[in-house]
Structure 1
């Protein structure tokens, strides 16, 4: 695997992570499968990357449990200022449009992993169900395919179970096996970053008091 091939795949995940209502509403409720739930119950996250039937894009399912309040995890996931700490190669996040009631917004991500690669601009709309989940879809930019949804579930013990699924295709031709391998690895890194930043923010709030 070349460094360039790996980098191009990472850009697809970086553009898709943070934040299509119609696409999400047409799908069944987002729940972990029995195998995914077993992994989460054992304290492990999961990432599954499979090809779409036509092989043009990758289908991603991922999840992790985080011992932080749901509103904290939500803040980390939806704050543009925090997005570069989560998504590999993300250089900037900018809100282009916003619903006054907070039901949706349109964002622009600009990504670059190494100087020799061109920047990738991604524009997408996110529809929110505040602190419960959101769905996103591509509205412009360089990505050929970008759509998905996230859900935050509060567990009986107080942890938050974060589940996501989506489709992404970078504007480059890459071997499918290479794309899936690197995408899976970098998705694991992104989930770890989400957990790290959520725990840090939760600890900060405890220190600062009410």
Structure 2
């Protein structure tokens, strides 16, 4: 952990309320819901992959992923179960639970927006691409237990996420969580 940078230096969630809000695109949202519902019949992995693809298209993200909590070799952490965009090649990778944007999101029990998170979470530098902004939204299983997160990343200077991104992905995260529960995974 960097001695100069603290978590509050990279968490910028409060800035969402000051950003302009894009207008909803009801037709695009309807198509996205239909796509997610269609993928539900193909199993959990199809749901997760569709969620990542929808995140890219609806939020103009450069990378997206679903990180699920799993214990591997006795270590509690997040496994990158599905990814899309420029970081898709990292699918199957792992992140620590207690020193990661996903872990911080679950500790807070709410979506979080980060600015250049690799300044605090140094292990993220291994990706080799700048992470200008990252938004992380919790996923819940049975009995409202956290099972992981969905996240989106912008690698481009000047591209910022907004409240619409948070709203639409939160809705899709809820639907994906319900579909996963129906698959009896969590």
With the length of structure 1 as denominator, give the TM-score of the two structures.
0.34
User: Which structure features the higher share of strand residues?
Assistant: 1
Structure of higher CA gyration radius: 1
User: Which structure features the higher share of helix residues?
Assistant: 2
With the length of structure 2 as denominator, give the TM-score of the two structures.
0.37
